[in-house]
Chains A and B, each alone.
Chain A
Amino acid sequence: MFIEVAQFLTILATGLFFLCFVFSVIFNVNDLNIINLISRIYSHSFLLFLFSFLIYVWLAITDNFSVLYIAQHSNTNLPVFYKISSIWSAHEGSMYLWIIFLSLWGAIYNIFSKNDEPLKARTIGIISITTVGFLLFLLLTSNPFETILPLPPENGADINPVLQDPLLAIHPPTLYLGYVGFVIAFGQALAFLIEGDSNINWEKQVRFWSIISWSFLTLGITLGSWWAYYELGWGGYWFWDPVENVALMPWLAATALIHSLSASSKSSILRIWTILLSILVFSLSLFGAFIVRSGIIDSVHSFANDPERGLYLLAFIGLLVMMSLILFSYRFALLVSNKRIISLSKESFISINNILFGTLIFSTMLGVMYPLIYEYIYDQKISVGAPFYNAIFVPITLLACLFLFSSIESKWQSKSVIAFFNNPTLASFIFSLLITFISFKLYSVSKLWTLASLFIGSLIIFRYILVIYSYIFHKKFVNVYSVLAHIGLGLLIISIALNNDFSSERALNIKINETEIYKDHEITFDNLQLIDGPNYESVRADFIIESQNGNKFSLNPEKRKYFARGQITTETAIHASILKDIYITIGDQLDDGSWIVNVQFNYFIRWIWFSAALMIISGLFLARTIKRARQ
C-alpha cells in the first residue's frame, strides 16, 4: 500500500516539476511574482518527491519484500545501515537516489538563492525539465516501485558481501552528489544564454555551487579509490577502468570550470570557456550515467545490460546536450568579450590550463571510445588501458603543473613579468632541485618521470609555502584555501610518483611456523584459525612481522566463504604507517600444506589519501568563504 503511495507521489512530483518548467518558459521570468510562484512550486515538488523516497527507505528498513527491488537486494539479516545502502546497490534504486540528489541540489539552490537573483526562474526551469526527463526514465524503464503480489517472499536475496562495506556504501551517494551538483552551473549557463543579457554576472553565483560539487566529486572518487585499495586485494588504487574514467572526465572538466569561473567572475573574459565547461561538466556526468547503465561497456561496475534503457538515456542526454550546444552556438556573440586576454596575465594561464585539461578529457574519452569504434569497424576486440592513459596523463599533468608554478605571481588582467630570479621563485627552484638530488643519490630514485614529478611537485609545494609565509609575515593577501588545495596537488603528484616507483610485492610460499624474509622484514606464519562469522565462514592466517629496527606487529588476513551465495572473498590485512603500508593477502593452499601469501609494500599511499583530503577540505572551506562574501 505504501509503495503505491510512493509511486503516486513520484508521478505527482514529475507533473509539478514539469509545470515549473512550463511556467519558466511561458511566463515573464523577470516578474518577481512569477519567480516566487515557480520557486514555491519547485519546493513543493521536491518535498513530495523526497517524501516518496523516505517512504521507500522506510519500506527497506522494515523489510517490505512485496517491493520487488527490495526483495532482490535486501535481506532481514542485514544491519539497518546496509538495508538502507542496498537501495543504491543496483540500477533502479541508485537511479532513484541519483534523481533525488539532482532535485535536492535544485532545492538547495532554490532556498539559498534570493528570489531577485537574476536567472533564478529559468535555472529552476532547466533543473526541473532535466529532473522530469530522468523521472520519466525511472518510471517507464527502471521502475523501483514494482511489486511482487499477492505472495511476497519471506526473505530477500542476500546482498553481495563485497557491497557490505561502510566505505562502499557511502561511495555512490558522495559521487552522485558531486556529479549532479553541476546541474546548477548547467542551468545557470543555459539561463544566461537564453536571457541574453551579457551584464549579468552569473559566474559569481555559480562559483559557490561548483566548488562544493567539485569537493563532493573529489570525495566520491577518493572513497572509491580507497575502497578498491583495501578491499580488492591487489594494492592498486586506480585502474583506468572505463567506469573510473567516466567519473574522472567530469572531475577534470569541473576542475577546469572552477578555475575558469574565477577568471570570468572578475571580468567577463573567458566566458566562452566558462559556458562551454558548465555545459561540458554536466554532460560528462550524464554521459557517465549512460555508459554504466546501458550495458555498452563491460566493467565490474556496470549495471544490468538493457538496450532499451540505453537508447532512452542516449536520446534524452543527446537531446539535452545538443540543445545546449545549439543555444551556445546561437548566442555566441553574447559571450565574446571586448577585452583581450593579456599576455602572461592570470587569465592567459587559466586559458592554457583549460586547453591542457581539455586535452586530458579528450584523451580519456578517446581511450574509452576507441575499443568501441574499433570493434564496430573491424569486428575485433581491442583494449586500451593503463599504458595509454599513463603515457598521456603524466606529461600533460606535469606540464600543467609547470604552468601553475609560473602563474603564481601573475595578476588579473595585467601583464606580469615572470621574474625568474626573484627570491621565492629561485628559492623554490633550489629547494626542489635539492630534494630531487637527494632522492636520486640517497634513495636511488632513478626513473626519469619519477624525478621529474618529484621536482615539479616540490616546486609547487615550496612556492606555495612561501606564499603562505608572505601572507603571515608580510600581510600579503592570498586565498589560503586555494593555496592549500594546490599544495595538496603538488603532494599528490609526488605521492603517486613515489608510490609507483618504490612499491613492490612478492608471492611467498610459506608453511606454518616458518619465517620468510622480504625487504628486511621477517615474516613469520604464526597460526591458522577457523572463524565463524555472522554470515560467513573464514580461515584466518596470523602473521608476525618484525622489521629491522625491532618493530613488531601482527597482521591477520582472511579468506571468507559467505553462506548465502557461496562467494569467496579475501580480506586484506594492512599495517599502515606514514611511509608505507605493509599489505598481506592469502592465496591458495598447496598440496604440501604450504600457503601462497602475497606481501606488498605500498609506499606513500597514505600521502595520496592525505593530498586528496587536503584538496577536499580546502574546497569546502573555500566555498564557505565565498558564501560569506556574498552575504
Chain B
Amino acid sequence: MLIRPLLFLLLVASTNILGESLYQFQNTADEERFYSLIKEIRCPKCTSGSLASSNAPVSEDIKKKIIELINEDKTDDEIRLFLSDRFGIEVLYDPGLNRSTYILWIAPGLFLFIALLIFFFRRKA
C-alpha cells in the first residue's frame, strides 16, 4: 500500500499523535481565539517564529495544550501565564506591561510627542 513508503513521515507523526484528539473546539469564537493566540506565542524550539509558523513536535504539543486550556474556559491571559511559567517569558511575543516594559510601550508615544513639540516650538520662535 502507500503506507509503506510514508514511514519517513510517520516517524515525525507517531511520537506526537498517540490517540490525542485533534483541534476540537466548542464554538467558532474559540477557534478564532486559538488561531489568534498561536500567532503571538513563540515556538520555543525554533530560532524564531510563532507556533503558527512551526510544525516542530513541541509546537504541536503546545498547540494541543492551548486548545485544552481554551476548552477549559481559561482566559487568554491565563493561557499566556501558563506557557510563560514553563517556557519563560520569552515565549510570549507580547512582553506585557509591567515595571520593566513600561519604557517599551511608552517610548514611541513620547518620541512622537517630543518631536512634535520641538517642531511647533521652533516654528513659533
Contact = CB atoms under 8 A, between A and B. Distances in A.
Chain A in direct contact with chain B (Cβ < 8 angstroms): yes
Contacts of B31: 506
Contacts of B119: 351-352, 355
A195 interface: no
Contacts of B49: 239, 241, 300
Interface residues of A, number: 59
Interface string B76-120: 000000000000111111110000110011011001100110010
Interface residues of B, number: 50
A589 interface: yes
A549 interface: no
A528 to B, nearest CB: 6
Interface in A378-434: 378, 380-388, 391-392, 396
Contacts of A561: 8
A591 B50 CA distance: 27
B94 A387 contact: yes
A589 B123 contact: no
A449 to B, nearest CB: 14
A590 B90 contact: no
B123 A340 contact: yes
A242 to B, nearest CB: 7
A587 B56 CA distance: 11
Given A396-B112, A505-B35, A385 B8 contact: no
A250 B99 CA distance: 31
B111 A362 contact: yes
A568 B12 contact: yes
B92 A383 contact: yes
Contact of A591 (B17, B92, B111): B17
Contact of A366 (B8, B19, B32, B108): B108
Interface of A: 232, 234, 236, 239, 241-242, 298-300, 302, 340-341, 343, 351-352, 355-356, 358-359, 362-363, 366-367, 370-371, 374, 378, 380-388, 391-392, 396, 504-507, 509, 528, 530, 537, 539, 559, 561, 568, 570, 587-591, 593, 596
Given A343-B123, A371-B90, A596-B22, 11 more contacts: A241-B48, A242-B48, A356-B112, A367-B104, A381-B90, A383-B90, A384-B93, A388-B95, A388-B105, A570-B55, A590-B17
7 contacts: A366-B104, A370-B104, A383-B89, A384-B93, A385-B50, A396-B108, A504-B32
